Structure 1
Amino acid sequence: MTLRLDALRHWIATRHHLSPEACRWEAVAGDASLRGYCRVTFPDFTSRIVMDAPPTLEDSQPFVVIGREWQAAGLPVPMIHAVDLEQGFIELDDLGNDSLHHHFGTDAEARSGTTQALDLLDEIEKRAPIASLPRYEPDFLDEEMDRFPDWGLTRWLGIETPPQWPEVKRHLLGHIAALPTVAVHRDFDAMNLMIHQDRLWIIDFQGALAGPLGYDLISLLRGRYHRWSRQEMDLWIEGFRQRCLTAGRLSPDIDGETFRAGVEAIGAQRQLKILGQFCRLCLRDGKPSYLEWLPHFYAHLDEGLEALPALGDFHRWLRESYRPAMEARLAEHRATSGAGGRS
């Protein structure tokens, strides 16, 4: 998005009793939302991050409420120093530029980073209050999945939704409903975990909901930056189940196979949402670079569905119909736009 730099400069200068020219401004990488971010460096060389979230486009109230609650609970989130919801400006701690995904270059680094992230996830599930969080309702999970046929099939590929689609959704939602409720970040990805002062910090938490245990686990394990083998996935999932059992967050009645199926069902729901949402980011929001991630997240979906044999017909349709159509359309897009390379 285009930052409202003049208004930001005036707001910060007024707050800190400085002239607008006294500070140095630097745009920093944004995300898939309509928010923008700047780093402001003050005359004493300290710095802050300023979020620009136009209130007609983004509701910043959840970010403020969750950020303050999580900080009060002892979770590592950036301190909120100032808020102007009317203008859509928020002043935050500057956690630097070193996100965890920069440290996923080798298997050993990815394993170490994932272990650290799961330790932090354990803290979130122990400490984050859920009473004030909206519930991740089945209707919302259903609507998210429908972005796949709406944007990913009809609008992007121009192909029909397979007839088994309603049953696919029912099956996935049934597995998800069997899991207990915790606070879920909903984008617990290595890019949203910053390394600062020798520890991990959580950012981009404004979408947190009270949702199914395992959502953030599978978001991390089937994220952008590493692909685990089936055996490694099973070990991560079972290790997490054991941790939850010890902490009392999971009933012993939920055995390993049931938990794995529930977690992979969440993963399938999430990958289907992403495959539609990234097409929407291109078609509606003018962000075509997200299309380059479609093969990556399709591969995650393909691997995850192996744990859900009841969806075998849908799995075959994805392999025989969706994948070839997606790859052909993506090749056509690259040829006509000169695109190539992920955001």
Structure 2
Amino acid sequence: MSDREAERIEFLKGAGLADARRDPLPGDASTRRYERLTTPTGASLMLMDQAPAAESPPCDPAWTPQQRRAAGWNATARLSAGRIEAFAAVSNLFRGAGLSTPEIIAVDAGSGFAVIEDFGDDLFARVIEDGEPAAPLYLAAVEALAKLHLNAVMPDVLSGPGGDWPLLTYDAVALQGGADLFVQWMPKLNPALDFGAAALAEWDAAWAPIAAMGEAKAWSVAHRDYHAENLIWLPQRSGDRRVGMIDFQDAVLAHPSWDLHSLLQDARRDVAPELEAVALDHYFACMPGVDREPFLADYAALAALNEARILGVFARLIARDGKPRYRAFMPRMWRHLEANLQKPGMEAVRGWFARHVPVEVRT
């Protein structure tokens, strides 16, 4: 028995769940693991397991950009390193805004364990595949975002049953760092790409105003990984509470478009352009104070940055981590990126890709 397994058993014993049946769930691209717990009475819960030592440290709010970069990727990008206290504190924030997140039954943040409510397996992506009409689910997800943008009370420090957690801004350092994954990892996946010092300087200059805009307009909380594989359909609930949210521990203050383009320009599944347009219309109807034209310009620019980031993440997963299945998602990301590069205001980034990334490798 591993030391970690012994810790799991001890935590479950302390939570009164020593007799629960444990069924591991398939892993994803993270270092977290989950088990479904079934109690002797038939109740179903989830064990979340995130060993704190499995990740580089999260960002200390006092760190400079140089200190963040030296500390590693989580500090640079302002990721939570999967910390349980982040999950619990963000869950409190979202529930306070009237949204559906799993109830936390037991927690030991220092050891990296929590037992949470089991929302079941009805991910948006799966129920749509099984024949549920997509539009009502996506419109409910948009309504949930609007409620979050309108109702979340956002202090500098969030509180939860696992302890306090800072609510940091998704700033220019984090945004630029995300975009930089493209130039760092795509050449390792495709040796035909070779970005020299001049190309890298051009890259930084092209994205700098977009990253600065993202920081300057970061006024709402963002789930940050808001898509059909992280939303669970809860039809027994009403309104936007039918949208069960998971995997939100990396929440930050960000531009309000961030979760929208994550949802509507999904890396893992196609969202029809007509549905994207209807969903955006619905967001503006829910948020009448938002100026549509500049918002959509920001939406396209930050979506393009995110798509460059995701292409870099997928390249890293394939080239470094030996996970070739992520290659199947890359053509979709290229299509989204290509479309956003054609929008007004994207001339500098579009020119960079025209000079440095041949069309034939954009697959």
Tell me the TM-score normalized by structure 2. 0.78
Q: CA deviation at 1:265?
A: 0.8
For residue 267 of structure 1, what is the aligned residue in structure 2? 303
CA distance in 2, matches of 1:105, 1:28: 20
Question: Residues 228, 278 of structure 1: CA spacing in aligned structure 2 closer, same or farther, 3 A cutoff?
Answer: same
Q: Give the aligned residue type for 1:187.
A: D
Q: How much identity, in percent, do the aligned residues show?
A: 27
Note the residue ranges of structure 1 that are not aligned, 5 or more in a row: 328-343
Contact in 2 for aligned 1:189/1:219 (Cα 8 Å): yes
Q: CA deviation at 1:139?
A: 1.2
Alignment of 1:102-251 (within 5 A): 102-105=126-129, 109-131=133-155, 132=157, 133-152=167-186, 154-158=187-191, 159-161=193-195, 162=199, 164-173=202-211, 175-176=213-214, 179=217, 181-196=219-234, 197-198=236-237, 199-223=242-266, 224-229=268-273, 233-245=276-288, 248=289, 250=290
Using the TM superposition, name which of 51-60 and 158-167 deviates more. 158-167
Question: Residues 309, 86 of structure 1: CA spacing in aligned structure 2 closer, same or farther, 3 A cutoff?
Answer: closer
CA distance in 2, matches of 1:56, 1:102: 33
Contact in 2 for aligned 1:179/1:262 (Cα 8 Å): no
For residue 88 of structure 1, what is the aligned residue in structure 2? 112
- What are the Cα deviations for residues 138-163 of structure 1, in whole angstroms up to 9, with x where unaligned? 111011110110112x3222322346
CA distance in 1, matches of 2:283, 2:168: 25
- What are the Cα deviations for residues 186-244 of structure 1, in whole angstroms up to 9, with x where unaligned? 11101111123342211001010011011111111101222333x65444334423432
CA distance in 1, matches of 2:3, 2:337: 35
- What are the Cα deviations for residues 36-82 of structure 1, in whole angstroms up to 9, with x where unaligned? 00011111111210011011024322112112232234321001111
Question: Residues 241, 177 of structure 1: CA spacing in aligned structure 2 closer, same or farther, 3 A cutoff?
Answer: farther
Q: Give the aligned residue type for 1:268.
A: A
For residue 41 of structure 1, what is the aligned residue in structure 2? 38
For residue 74 of structure 2, what is the aligned residue in structure 1? none
What SS does the corresponding residue of 1:155 show, helix, strand or coil?
Answer: helix
Cα RMSD, aligned residues only: 2.8
Contact in 2 for aligned 1:275/1:297 (Cα 8 Å): yes
CA distance in 2, matches of 1:228, 1:3: 47
The answer to whether the aligner puts 1:288 opposite 2:321 as a matched pair is no
For residue 293 of structure 2, what is the aligned residue in structure 1? 257
Count of aligned pairs between the two proteins: 314
What SS does the corresponding residue of 1:190 show, helix, strand or coil?
Answer: coil
Contact in 2 for aligned 1:51/1:89 (Cα 8 Å): yes
For residue 52 of structure 1, what is the aligned residue in structure 2? 49
Alignment of 1:17-28 (within 5 A): 20=18, 22-28=19-25
CA distance in 2, matches of 1:171, 1:64: 34
What SS does the corresponding residue of 1:104 show, helix, strand or coil?
Answer: helix
